[in-house]
Structure 1
């Protein structure tokens, strides 16, 4: 696969953040101790706001490992200050997200409070969780997301 300049820059940023933090990025995304609770996510936003979401690569999993109608894809999201990635579910759609730069807060169906994610941290999204994200900071948050997505 041929990589364009944006893809190469995103992958370089991912590698640089990994090297900067040591050999392995830090896993994050766990609810603070004592704050695990069902969260209906009432009033969660349902439309994106001030976010760009660009697919930078994908693999047809049927050709690779015999999983029909699913792609493994890599996306680059840039969430501007105040921007939102709207409420969505990860039922049947596992993902790993690394925060490349900036910081972002996740609001998850299994946690009573927001979960802050800093640059270099990875969030695991699976087990059917629902959640949404907001950039509560003053600088853009850049994320790389690898997920398994059903074809439309």
Structure 2
């Protein structure tokens, strides 16, 4: 009987897990999710390299015409900037490989700090810009789905 009770308790605790939303390190702090106009945001890149390291035509893979899935490697030098841009119709996941980078997001009142090992979810039409305020390069892997030019 004891084993059945333990099994039932474990199943009860685990049951909600498949339905829980994933937590992303480096998300907007609780209570700070609100519109941010990002006034004065930079519009020109500074000290950043952006290299496409692979892409897949989603039409031939899963029948999504006119869209590519690509992965890029970005290196943002200290003081470097990825200028303001939108993710309307271009969802992405950004993995911080090394260094630290600060994100200024249209849906967060305060800057978001991303450290090595963090992943940022960029979707739902957000706009944002990034800046390396640290002393070492920030290396990011960006995977996004976008319309072919």
Q: TM-score interval w.r.t. the shorter chain?
A: 0.7 to 0.9
CA distance in 2, matches of 1:80, 1:103: 10
Q: Secondary structure at the match of 1:107?
A: strand
Structure 1 match to 2:10: none
Matched, 1:98 2:95: yes
Matched, 1:84 2:46: no
Stretches of 4+ moved more than 6 A in 1? none
Structure 1 match to 2:18: none
State the Cα distance separating 1:31 from its structure 2 match: 1.1
State the Cα distance separating 1:27 from its structure 2 match: 2.2
Q: Secondary structure at the match of 2:60?
A: helix
TM-score normalized by the length of structure 1: 0.81
TM-score normalized by the length of structure 2: 0.83
Q: Secondary structure at the match of 2:121?
A: strand
Residues 19-68 of structure 1, C-alpha deviations (whole Å, 9 max, x = no match) = xxxxxxx7224211221211010000111110000000000001001111
CA distance in 1, matches of 2:104, 2:42: 11
Matched, 1:136 2:138: no
Matched, 1:148 2:141: no
Which sections of structure 1, spanning at least 5 residues, go unmatched?
A: 1-25
CA distance in 2, matches of 1:136, 1:149: 28
Work out which of the two has the higher radius of gyration on C-alpha atoms and give 1 or 2.
2
CA RMSD, Structure 1 to Structure 2 (Å): 1.0
How many pairs were matched up? 127
Check the 8 A contact 1:103/1:117 in 2, yes or no: yes
Q: Secondary structure at the match of 1:63?
A: helix
Distance 1:96 1:77, change over 3 A: same
Which sections of structure 2, spanning at least 5 residues, go unmatched?
A: 1-22
Structure 2 match to 1:111: 108
